[in-house]
Amino acid sequence: MKDLKIINGKFPDFENDSWVQADIVIHDGVIEFVGDVPVECENVIDAAGKVVAPGFIDIHAHEDQFVGRHEDDFFTAGRGLLMGVTTQIVGNCGDNYNAIEDFVSNIEHEGAPLNMMTFVGQNFLRELAGATDRYQASTPQQLDRMKKMLSHLRKFEPVGISCGFEYAPGVTSEETIELAKALEEEGYLISVHFREDGPKAPQSTRELVEISKATGYAMEMSHIGSCAAVGYMADTLKIIKEAREAGVDISSDCYPYNAFCTGIGTAVFDEGCFERWGKSYSDVLVLSGPYLNQRCTRELFEKLRAEDPDLHVAVFAMNEEEVDLAYQTPFVMVGSDCGFVSRHGHPRGAGAFPRVIRQYVREKKQLTLIEALRKMTIMPADRVGLSSKGEIKEGMDADIVIFDENLITDRATFEEPTLAAGGIDYVIVGGHISADHGRIVCDNAGRYIGYNNRG
Ligand SMILES: [Zn+2]
Protein backbone atom coordinates (compact mmCIF):
# COMPACT_ATOMS: atom_id res chain seq x y z
CA MET A 1 0.00 0.00 0.00
CA LYS A 2 1.41 3.37 -1.01
CA ASP A 3 0.85 6.61 0.88
CA LEU A 4 -0.83 8.94 -1.56
CA LYS A 5 -1.92 9.05 -5.17
CA ILE A 6 -2.67 12.24 -7.08
CA ILE A 7 -4.77 11.56 -10.15
CA ASN A 8 -5.91 13.50 -13.23
CA GLY A 9 -3.69 16.56 -12.68
CA LYS A 10 -1.14 18.14 -14.97
CA PHE A 11 2.41 19.10 -14.06
CA PRO A 12 5.10 21.15 -15.77
CA ASP A 13 7.94 19.56 -17.72
CA PHE A 14 10.51 22.36 -17.58
CA GLU A 15 12.92 20.69 -19.96
CA ASN A 16 10.40 20.54 -22.77
CA ASP A 17 8.44 23.61 -21.74
CA SER A 18 5.23 21.61 -21.78
CA TRP A 19 2.57 20.06 -19.55
CA VAL A 20 2.32 16.41 -18.65
CA GLN A 21 -0.97 14.78 -17.75
CA ALA A 22 -0.17 11.87 -15.44
CA ASP A 23 -0.90 10.34 -12.07
CA ILE A 24 1.63 10.54 -9.28
CA VAL A 25 2.22 7.97 -6.56
CA ILE A 26 3.95 9.04 -3.37
CA HIS A 27 5.59 6.72 -0.87
CA ASP A 28 7.82 7.50 2.09
CA GLY A 29 8.15 11.15 1.15
CA VAL A 30 9.26 10.42 -2.40
CA ILE A 31 7.53 10.55 -5.78
CA GLU A 32 7.72 6.84 -6.52
CA PHE A 33 5.86 6.56 -9.80
CA VAL A 34 4.67 8.99 -12.42
CA GLY A 35 2.34 7.82 -15.16
CA ASP A 36 -0.59 5.53 -15.54
CA VAL A 37 0.05 3.24 -12.62
CA PRO A 38 -2.36 0.63 -11.24
CA VAL A 39 -1.36 1.17 -7.61
CA GLU A 40 -3.74 0.87 -4.69
CA CYS A 41 -3.68 3.85 -2.40
CA GLU A 42 -5.61 4.63 0.72
CA ASN A 43 -5.41 8.37 0.05
CA VAL A 44 -6.28 9.72 -3.35
CA ILE A 45 -6.46 13.33 -4.44
CA ASP A 46 -8.42 13.95 -7.61
CA ALA A 47 -6.63 16.91 -9.20
CA ALA A 48 -8.75 17.05 -12.36
CA GLY A 49 -8.43 20.50 -13.90
CA LYS A 50 -5.70 21.46 -11.43
CA VAL A 51 -1.99 22.12 -11.65
CA VAL A 52 0.22 19.77 -9.67
CA ALA A 53 3.41 21.80 -9.29
CA PRO A 54 6.61 21.15 -7.41
CA GLY A 55 6.41 22.88 -4.03
CA PHE A 56 7.57 26.49 -4.23
CA ILE A 57 11.08 27.21 -2.97
CA ASP A 58 11.54 30.61 -1.35
CA ILE A 59 15.17 31.55 -1.82
CA HIS A 60 14.82 34.78 0.12
CA ALA A 61 13.08 34.28 3.44
CA HIS A 62 13.50 35.34 7.05
CA GLU A 63 12.80 33.07 9.98
CA ASP A 64 10.75 33.90 13.06
CA GLN A 65 12.45 34.63 16.32
CA PHE A 66 11.74 31.64 18.54
CA VAL A 67 9.58 32.41 21.54
CA GLY A 68 9.11 28.80 22.64
CA ARG A 69 5.63 28.13 21.25
CA HIS A 70 5.69 26.00 18.13
CA GLU A 71 2.91 27.92 16.37
CA ASP A 72 4.61 31.28 16.96
CA ASP A 73 8.11 29.97 16.39
CA PHE A 74 7.02 29.17 12.85
CA PHE A 75 4.32 31.73 12.13
CA THR A 76 6.13 33.11 9.07
CA ALA A 77 6.89 29.59 7.85
CA GLY A 78 3.19 28.75 8.24
CA ARG A 79 2.13 31.70 6.07
CA GLY A 80 4.69 30.53 3.53
CA LEU A 81 3.20 27.05 3.55
CA LEU A 82 -0.27 28.45 2.92
CA MET A 83 0.97 30.19 -0.24
CA GLY A 84 2.49 26.97 -1.60
CA VAL A 85 6.04 27.22 -0.29
CA THR A 86 7.56 23.91 0.84
CA THR A 87 11.16 25.05 1.38
CA GLN A 88 12.44 28.37 2.69
CA ILE A 89 16.02 29.59 2.67
CA VAL A 90 16.27 31.86 5.71
CA GLY A 91 18.96 33.94 7.40
CA ASN A 92 19.06 36.46 4.58
CA CYS A 93 20.11 40.13 4.50
CA GLY A 94 23.01 39.45 6.89
CA ASP A 95 20.76 38.52 9.76
CA ASN A 96 19.77 35.49 11.80
CA TYR A 97 17.09 35.87 14.45
CA ASN A 98 18.14 32.85 16.53
CA ALA A 99 21.40 31.19 17.43
CA ILE A 100 22.07 28.81 14.53
CA GLU A 101 22.42 25.89 16.99
CA ASP A 102 18.96 26.56 18.45
CA PHE A 103 17.41 27.05 15.04
CA VAL A 104 18.70 23.74 13.72
CA SER A 105 17.99 21.71 16.85
CA ASN A 106 14.49 23.14 17.19
CA ILE A 107 13.60 21.95 13.68
CA GLU A 108 15.36 18.63 14.14
CA HIS A 109 13.39 17.96 17.32
CA GLU A 110 9.99 19.40 16.50
CA GLY A 111 9.89 19.68 12.75
CA ALA A 112 8.68 22.82 10.97
CA PRO A 113 5.71 23.56 8.70
CA LEU A 114 8.07 23.44 5.72
CA ASN A 115 11.68 22.55 4.95
CA MET A 116 14.31 25.07 5.88
CA MET A 117 17.87 25.89 4.96
CA THR A 118 19.80 28.80 6.34
CA PHE A 119 22.53 31.27 5.58
CA VAL A 120 24.85 32.55 8.30
CA GLY A 121 24.54 36.33 8.36
CA GLN A 122 27.60 38.52 8.28
CA ASN A 123 25.90 41.26 10.31
CA PHE A 124 24.83 38.62 12.84
CA LEU A 125 28.45 37.49 13.22
CA ARG A 126 29.62 41.10 13.51
CA GLU A 127 27.32 41.67 16.47
CA LEU A 128 28.58 38.51 18.18
CA ALA A 129 32.17 39.53 17.53
CA GLY A 130 31.62 42.94 19.10
CA ALA A 131 31.55 44.98 15.87
CA THR A 132 28.39 46.71 16.99
CA ASP A 133 28.85 50.10 15.31
CA ARG A 134 27.18 49.75 11.93
CA TYR A 135 29.20 52.63 10.50
CA GLN A 136 32.58 51.16 11.47
CA ALA A 137 34.63 48.50 9.76
CA SER A 138 35.41 45.52 11.97
CA THR A 139 38.87 45.38 13.52
CA PRO A 140 41.26 42.58 12.50
CA GLN A 141 40.56 40.90 15.86
CA GLN A 142 36.80 41.09 15.36
CA LEU A 143 37.08 39.73 11.82
CA ASP A 144 39.21 36.92 13.14
CA ARG A 145 36.51 36.09 15.69
CA MET A 146 33.87 36.16 12.94
CA LYS A 147 35.89 33.73 10.85
CA LYS A 148 36.30 31.36 13.78
CA MET A 149 32.58 31.45 14.48
CA LEU A 150 31.74 30.81 10.84
CA SER A 151 34.21 27.97 10.74
CA HIS A 152 32.53 26.45 13.80
CA LEU A 153 29.04 26.98 12.32
CA ARG A 154 29.95 25.05 9.20
CA LYS A 155 29.00 21.89 11.08
CA PHE A 156 25.37 23.02 10.75
CA GLU A 157 25.85 23.04 7.00
CA PRO A 158 24.53 26.48 6.05
CA VAL A 159 23.88 27.38 2.40
CA GLY A 160 26.57 30.03 2.62
CA ILE A 161 26.79 33.53 4.01
CA SER A 162 24.40 36.42 3.67
CA CYS A 163 25.30 40.09 3.87
CA GLY A 164 23.30 43.20 4.62
CA PHE A 165 25.51 46.02 3.42
CA GLU A 166 22.76 48.62 3.47
CA TYR A 167 22.15 47.87 7.16
CA ALA A 168 25.81 48.15 8.12
CA PRO A 169 27.47 50.68 5.82
CA GLY A 170 30.74 50.18 7.70
CA VAL A 171 31.15 46.68 6.24
CA THR A 172 33.67 46.64 3.43
CA SER A 173 33.81 44.26 0.47
CA GLU A 174 37.18 43.15 1.84
CA GLU A 175 35.55 42.05 5.10
CA THR A 176 33.10 39.85 3.19
CA ILE A 177 35.81 38.43 0.96
CA GLU A 178 37.99 37.65 3.97
CA LEU A 179 35.08 36.16 5.92
CA ALA A 180 34.17 33.91 2.97
CA LYS A 181 37.59 32.25 3.25
CA ALA A 182 36.36 30.59 6.44
CA LEU A 183 33.87 28.60 4.32
CA GLU A 184 36.91 26.75 2.95
CA GLU A 185 35.05 24.46 0.56
CA GLU A 186 33.52 25.13 -2.82
CA GLY A 187 29.85 25.29 -3.68
CA TYR A 188 28.51 27.80 -1.19
CA LEU A 189 26.30 30.72 -2.14
CA ILE A 190 26.67 34.32 -1.02
CA SER A 191 23.43 36.27 -0.78
CA VAL A 192 23.77 40.04 -0.55
CA HIS A 193 21.42 42.84 0.32
CA PHE A 194 23.19 45.57 -1.73
CA ARG A 195 24.98 48.54 -0.25
CA GLU A 196 22.90 51.40 -1.68
CA ASP A 197 19.73 51.69 -3.72
CA GLY A 198 18.39 54.16 -6.29
CA PRO A 199 21.09 56.02 -8.25
CA LYS A 200 23.71 53.84 -6.55
CA ALA A 201 22.06 50.57 -7.64
CA PRO A 202 24.38 49.97 -10.62
CA GLN A 203 27.47 50.66 -8.52
CA SER A 204 26.20 48.42 -5.72
CA THR A 205 25.61 45.64 -8.23
CA ARG A 206 29.14 45.94 -9.59
CA GLU A 207 30.42 45.45 -6.05
CA LEU A 208 28.58 42.11 -5.87
CA VAL A 209 30.08 41.01 -9.17
CA GLU A 210 33.55 41.79 -7.79
CA ILE A 211 32.89 39.88 -4.56
CA SER A 212 31.79 36.85 -6.55
CA LYS A 213 34.93 37.03 -8.68
CA ALA A 214 37.22 37.47 -5.67
CA THR A 215 35.70 34.64 -3.60
CA GLY A 216 34.82 32.25 -6.40
CA TYR A 217 31.38 31.77 -4.84
CA ALA A 218 28.08 32.14 -6.64
CA MET A 219 26.25 35.37 -5.85
CA GLU A 220 22.54 35.96 -5.25
CA MET A 221 21.60 39.62 -5.33
CA SER A 222 18.72 40.02 -2.90
CA HIS A 223 15.38 41.58 -3.85
CA ILE A 224 16.53 43.56 -6.87
CA GLY A 225 13.22 45.45 -6.92
CA SER A 226 13.90 47.39 -3.74
CA CYS A 227 17.39 48.22 -4.97
CA ALA A 228 16.76 49.34 -8.52
CA ALA A 229 13.04 49.81 -9.29
CA VAL A 230 13.30 53.54 -8.73
CA GLY A 231 14.58 54.39 -12.19
CA TYR A 232 17.64 52.12 -12.39
CA MET A 233 16.33 48.64 -13.14
CA ALA A 234 17.36 48.44 -16.80
CA ASP A 235 20.92 49.58 -16.02
CA THR A 236 21.20 47.18 -13.10
CA LEU A 237 19.91 44.18 -15.05
CA LYS A 238 22.37 44.99 -17.82
CA ILE A 239 25.32 44.82 -15.40
CA ILE A 240 24.22 41.39 -14.19
CA LYS A 241 23.62 40.16 -17.73
CA GLU A 242 27.08 41.25 -18.85
CA ALA A 243 28.73 39.72 -15.78
CA ARG A 244 26.94 36.43 -16.46
CA GLU A 245 28.10 36.50 -20.07
CA ALA A 246 31.63 36.99 -18.77
CA GLY A 247 31.27 33.85 -16.64
CA VAL A 248 30.29 35.30 -13.25
CA ASP A 249 27.66 33.18 -11.52
CA ILE A 250 25.27 35.90 -10.36
CA SER A 251 21.47 35.91 -10.26
CA SER A 252 18.78 37.74 -8.35
CA ASP A 253 15.43 37.43 -6.66
CA CYS A 254 12.52 39.82 -6.45
CA TYR A 255 9.21 40.16 -4.63
CA PRO A 256 6.20 41.36 -6.64
CA TYR A 257 5.25 44.56 -4.79
CA ASN A 258 5.89 48.27 -5.17
CA ALA A 259 6.73 48.71 -1.49
CA PHE A 260 9.63 47.43 0.56
CA CYS A 261 9.56 46.91 4.31
CA THR A 262 12.16 47.22 7.02
CA GLY A 263 12.84 48.59 10.50
CA ILE A 264 12.37 52.34 10.77
CA GLY A 265 15.59 52.68 12.80
CA THR A 266 17.83 51.04 10.19
CA ALA A 267 20.50 52.81 8.14
CA VAL A 268 18.16 52.46 5.14
CA PHE A 269 16.47 55.63 6.43
CA ASP A 270 19.64 57.65 6.93
CA GLU A 271 19.82 61.22 5.66
CA GLY A 272 19.00 61.61 1.98
CA CYS A 273 16.88 58.47 1.52
CA PHE A 274 13.70 60.26 0.44
CA GLU A 275 15.59 62.30 -2.14
CA ARG A 276 17.16 59.11 -3.48
CA TRP A 277 13.77 57.45 -3.92
CA GLY A 278 11.98 60.61 -4.99
CA LYS A 279 9.45 59.99 -2.19
CA SER A 280 8.27 61.65 0.98
CA TYR A 281 7.14 60.81 4.52
CA SER A 282 3.61 60.11 3.35
CA ASP A 283 4.91 57.17 1.31
CA VAL A 284 5.82 55.44 4.58
CA LEU A 285 3.14 53.17 6.10
CA VAL A 286 3.39 51.97 9.71
CA LEU A 287 2.91 48.18 9.94
CA SER A 288 2.45 47.65 13.67
CA GLY A 289 1.98 49.35 17.02
CA PRO A 290 -0.32 52.24 18.00
CA TYR A 291 0.06 53.92 14.59
CA LEU A 292 -0.78 50.74 12.66
CA ASN A 293 -1.85 51.43 9.07
CA GLN A 294 -1.12 55.15 9.33
CA ARG A 295 0.92 57.03 6.79
CA CYS A 296 3.79 59.02 8.28
CA THR A 297 4.23 62.74 8.60
CA ARG A 298 7.70 64.11 9.17
CA GLU A 299 6.91 64.38 12.90
CA LEU A 300 5.61 60.82 13.22
CA PHE A 301 8.51 59.43 11.19
CA GLU A 302 11.10 61.14 13.37
CA LYS A 303 9.34 60.19 16.59
CA LEU A 304 9.12 56.49 15.62
CA ARG A 305 12.68 56.36 14.30
CA ALA A 306 13.94 57.72 17.62
CA GLU A 307 11.61 55.84 19.98
CA ASP A 308 10.87 52.53 18.28
CA PRO A 309 13.72 51.72 15.86
CA ASP A 310 12.69 48.07 15.40
CA LEU A 311 9.20 49.02 14.21
CA HIS A 312 8.53 47.82 10.69
CA VAL A 313 7.28 50.19 8.04
CA ALA A 314 6.51 49.80 4.35
CA VAL A 315 7.76 52.36 1.86
CA PHE A 316 5.93 52.70 -1.44
CA ALA A 317 9.06 53.56 -3.37
CA MET A 318 9.22 51.22 -6.33
CA ASN A 319 7.84 51.65 -9.84
CA GLU A 320 5.63 48.75 -10.82
CA GLU A 321 6.86 48.68 -14.45
CA GLU A 322 10.41 48.23 -13.26
CA VAL A 323 9.44 45.34 -11.00
CA ASP A 324 7.67 43.87 -14.06
CA LEU A 325 10.86 44.25 -16.06
CA ALA A 326 12.80 42.30 -13.44
CA TYR A 327 10.33 39.42 -13.63
CA GLN A 328 10.63 39.27 -17.39
CA THR A 329 14.35 38.70 -17.05
CA PRO A 330 15.40 35.02 -17.13
CA PHE A 331 17.92 35.19 -14.25
CA VAL A 332 15.47 36.79 -11.80
CA MET A 333 13.54 34.35 -9.61
CA VAL A 334 10.82 34.76 -7.00
CA GLY A 335 11.80 35.35 -3.38
CA SER A 336 9.30 36.68 -0.88
CA ASP A 337 11.56 38.40 1.69
CA CYS A 338 8.91 37.23 4.17
CA GLY A 339 9.28 37.80 7.89
CA PHE A 340 6.38 38.62 10.19
CA VAL A 341 7.07 40.12 13.60
CA SER A 342 4.37 39.36 16.18
CA ARG A 343 2.09 38.54 13.24
CA HIS A 344 2.58 41.95 11.65
CA GLY A 345 4.46 42.87 8.51
CA HIS A 346 4.41 43.08 4.72
CA PRO A 347 1.81 41.05 2.78
CA ARG A 348 4.56 39.46 0.68
CA GLY A 349 4.96 36.90 3.48
CA ALA A 350 1.51 35.49 2.75
CA GLY A 351 1.02 36.42 -0.89
CA ALA A 352 4.18 36.80 -2.97
CA PHE A 353 4.07 33.49 -4.84
CA PRO A 354 0.37 33.39 -5.78
CA ARG A 355 0.60 37.09 -6.64
CA VAL A 356 3.27 36.39 -9.26
CA ILE A 357 0.88 33.95 -10.95
CA ARG A 358 -2.12 36.25 -10.66
CA GLN A 359 -0.31 39.37 -11.85
CA TYR A 360 2.20 38.18 -14.40
CA VAL A 361 0.50 35.10 -15.80
CA ARG A 362 -3.22 35.84 -15.57
CA GLU A 363 -3.54 39.61 -15.65
CA LYS A 364 -0.54 41.15 -17.40
CA LYS A 365 0.26 38.02 -19.42
CA GLN A 366 3.97 38.78 -19.21
CA LEU A 367 4.95 35.24 -18.20
CA THR A 368 3.57 31.85 -19.11
CA LEU A 369 2.58 29.70 -16.16
CA ILE A 370 5.55 27.42 -16.83
CA GLU A 371 7.92 30.41 -16.84
CA ALA A 372 6.49 31.65 -13.56
CA LEU A 373 6.71 28.21 -11.98
CA ARG A 374 10.29 27.82 -13.13
CA LYS A 375 11.19 30.96 -11.16
CA MET A 376 9.56 29.44 -8.06
CA THR A 377 10.83 25.87 -8.24
CA ILE A 378 13.65 24.56 -10.37
CA MET A 379 15.62 27.84 -10.53
CA PRO A 380 15.90 28.33 -6.76
CA ALA A 381 16.44 24.56 -6.33
CA ASP A 382 19.41 24.69 -8.69
CA ARG A 383 20.70 27.82 -7.00
CA VAL A 384 21.02 26.17 -3.60
CA GLY A 385 21.87 22.70 -4.87
CA LEU A 386 18.57 21.01 -4.02
CA SER A 387 18.85 18.32 -6.66
CA SER A 388 15.90 16.29 -5.33
CA LYS A 389 13.48 19.21 -5.36
CA GLY A 390 12.01 21.61 -7.91
CA GLU A 391 10.59 19.08 -10.36
CA ILE A 392 7.92 16.41 -10.52
CA LYS A 393 9.81 13.26 -11.47
CA GLU A 394 10.23 9.76 -10.14
CA GLY A 395 12.69 9.76 -7.26
CA MET A 396 12.19 13.42 -6.37
CA ASP A 397 11.01 14.56 -2.93
CA ALA A 398 7.24 14.70 -2.62
CA ASP A 399 6.98 18.47 -2.04
CA ILE A 400 3.95 19.44 -4.09
CA VAL A 401 1.40 22.23 -4.42
CA ILE A 402 -1.93 21.62 -6.11
CA PHE A 403 -3.80 24.70 -7.30
CA ASP A 404 -6.33 26.06 -9.75
CA GLU A 405 -4.49 28.24 -12.26
CA ASN A 406 -7.58 30.40 -12.78
CA LEU A 407 -8.20 30.96 -9.09
CA ILE A 408 -4.84 31.04 -7.35
CA THR A 409 -4.48 34.48 -5.83
CA ASP A 410 -2.92 36.48 -3.04
CA ARG A 411 -5.43 37.85 -0.56
CA ALA A 412 -2.99 39.46 1.88
CA THR A 413 -2.98 43.26 1.80
CA PHE A 414 -1.05 45.93 3.68
CA GLU A 415 -4.06 46.26 5.98
CA GLU A 416 -4.45 42.51 6.44
CA PRO A 417 -1.00 41.13 5.64
CA THR A 418 -1.40 37.57 6.92
CA LEU A 419 -4.50 36.50 4.98
CA ALA A 420 -3.90 33.10 3.40
CA ALA A 421 -3.73 32.79 -0.37
CA GLY A 422 -6.75 31.54 -2.30
CA GLY A 423 -7.08 28.90 -5.01
CA ILE A 424 -4.59 26.47 -3.49
CA ASP A 425 -6.11 23.08 -2.71
CA TYR A 426 -3.21 21.23 -1.11
CA VAL A 427 0.36 21.80 -0.09
CA ILE A 428 2.28 18.57 0.45
CA VAL A 429 5.58 18.53 2.34
CA GLY A 430 7.65 15.35 2.18
CA GLY A 431 4.55 13.36 1.27
CA HIS A 432 2.40 14.77 4.08
CA ILE A 433 -0.64 16.87 3.28
CA SER A 434 0.31 19.95 5.30
CA ALA A 435 -2.15 22.56 4.04
CA ASP A 436 -5.68 21.75 2.93
CA HIS A 437 -7.71 24.53 1.26
CA GLY A 438 -6.12 27.38 3.20
CA ARG A 439 -5.77 25.60 6.52
CA ILE A 440 -2.62 24.16 8.06
CA VAL A 441 -3.34 20.51 8.89
CA CYS A 442 0.20 19.37 9.63
CA ASP A 443 2.81 21.79 10.92
CA ASN A 444 5.83 19.59 11.47
CA ALA A 445 6.57 17.70 8.25
CA GLY A 446 9.38 20.10 7.31
CA ARG A 447 13.02 19.25 7.96
CA TYR A 448 16.23 21.16 8.32
CA ILE A 449 18.28 20.61 5.19
CA GLY A 450 22.03 20.87 5.57
CA TYR A 451 24.40 21.73 2.82
CA ASN A 452 25.68 18.18 2.50
CA ASN A 453 22.25 16.70 2.69
CA ARG A 454 20.53 18.41 -0.19
CA GLY A 455 19.66 15.18 -1.98
ZN1 LIG B 1 17.15 42.59 2.47
pLDDT digits (tens, 9 = 90+) for 42-86: 899 999 999 999 999 999 999 999 999 998 999 999 999 999 999
List of long-range contacts for 148-151, beta carbons under 8 Å, 24+ apart? 148/182, 149/125, 150/120, 150/125, 150/179, 150/182, 150/183, 151/182, 151/184
Give the separation between CA 149 and CA 134, rounded to whole angstroms: 19
From the CA of 25, how far away is ligand 1's center (Å)? Answer: 39
Task: Note the pLDDT of residue 40.
Answer: 84
From the CA of 260, how far away is ligand 1's center (Å)? Answer: 9
From the CA of 269, how far away is ligand 1's center (Å)? Answer: 14
From the CA of 52, how far away is ligand 1's center (Å)? Answer: 31
Residue 379: pLDDT above 90? yes
From the CA of 104, how far away is ligand 1's center (Å)? Answer: 22
Residue 455: pLDDT above 80? no
From the CA of 381, how far away is ligand 1's center (Å)? Answer: 20
How many Cβ atoms from other residues are within 10 Å of residue 366's Cβ?
14
From the CA of 162, how far away is ligand 1's center (Å)? Answer: 10
Task: Note the pLDDT of residue 337.
Answer: 98
Residue 308: pLDDT above 80? yes
From the CA of 375, how far away is ligand 1's center (Å)? Answer: 19
Q: What pairing do the DSSP bridges indicate for beta strands 115-118 and 85-90?
A: parallel
Q: Band of the pLDDT at 127, cuts 50, 70, 90?
A: very high
Residue 449: pLDDT above 90? yes
From the CA of 335, how far away is ligand 1's center (Å)? Answer: 11
Residue 294: pLDDT above 90? yes
From the CA of 191, how far away is ligand 1's center (Å)? Answer: 9
Give the separation between CA 140 and CA 137, rounded to whole angstroms: 9
pLDDT digits (tens, 9 = 90+) for 180-236: 999 999 999 999 999 999 999 999 999 999 999 999 999 999 999 999 999 999 999
Q: Band of the pLDDT at 110, cuts 50, 70, 90?
A: very high
Give the separation between CA 297 and CA 292, rounded to whole angstroms: 14
From the CA of 93, how far away is ligand 1's center (Å)? Answer: 4
From the CA of 452, how far away is ligand 1's center (Å)? Answer: 26
Residue 150: pLDDT above 90? yes
How many residues appear in the chain?
Answer: 455
Task: Note the pLDDT of residue 2.
Answer: 82
Percent of residues, the chain, with pLDDT higher than 90: 97
From the CA of 424, how far away is ligand 1's center (Å)? Answer: 28
From the CA of 230, how far away is ligand 1's center (Å)? Answer: 16
From the CA of 222, how far away is ligand 1's center (Å)? Answer: 6
**Residue 75 Ramachandran class (φ > 0 left, ψ -120 to 50 alpha, else beta):** alpha
> What are the backbone dihedrals phi and psi of residue 51, each rounded to the nearest 5 degrees, phi first?
-95, 130
From the CA of 235, how far away is ligand 1's center (Å)? Answer: 20
From the CA of 214, how far away is ligand 1's center (Å)? Answer: 22
From the CA of 164, how far away is ligand 1's center (Å)? Answer: 7
From the CA of 49, how far away is ligand 1's center (Å)? Answer: 38
Give the separation between CA 357 and CA 256, rounded to whole angstroms: 10
From the CA of 171, how far away is ligand 1's center (Å)? Answer: 15
pLDDT digits (tens, 9 = 90+) for 221-274: 999 999 999 999 999 999 999 999 999 999 999 999 999 999 999 999 999 999
From the CA of 16, how far away is ligand 1's center (Å)? Answer: 34
How many Cβ atoms from other residues are within 10 Å of residue 399's Cβ?
33
Q: What is the mean pLDDT of residues 357-385?
A: 98
From the CA of 348, how far away is ligand 1's center (Å)? Answer: 13
Sketch the domain layout of the chain as residue ranges: 54-258+318-389, 262-315
From the CA of 313, how far away is ligand 1's center (Å)? Answer: 14
- CA 92, 97, 101, 107 torsion-angle sign: negative
Give the separation between CA 429 and CA 443, rounded to whole angstroms: 10
From the CA of 327, how far away is ligand 1's center (Å)? Answer: 18
pTM over 0.95: yes
From the CA of 6, how far away is ligand 1's center (Å)? Answer: 37
**What CATH topology corresponds to 54-258+318-389?**
TIM Barrel (3.20.20)
From the CA of 193, how far away is ligand 1's center (Å)? Answer: 5
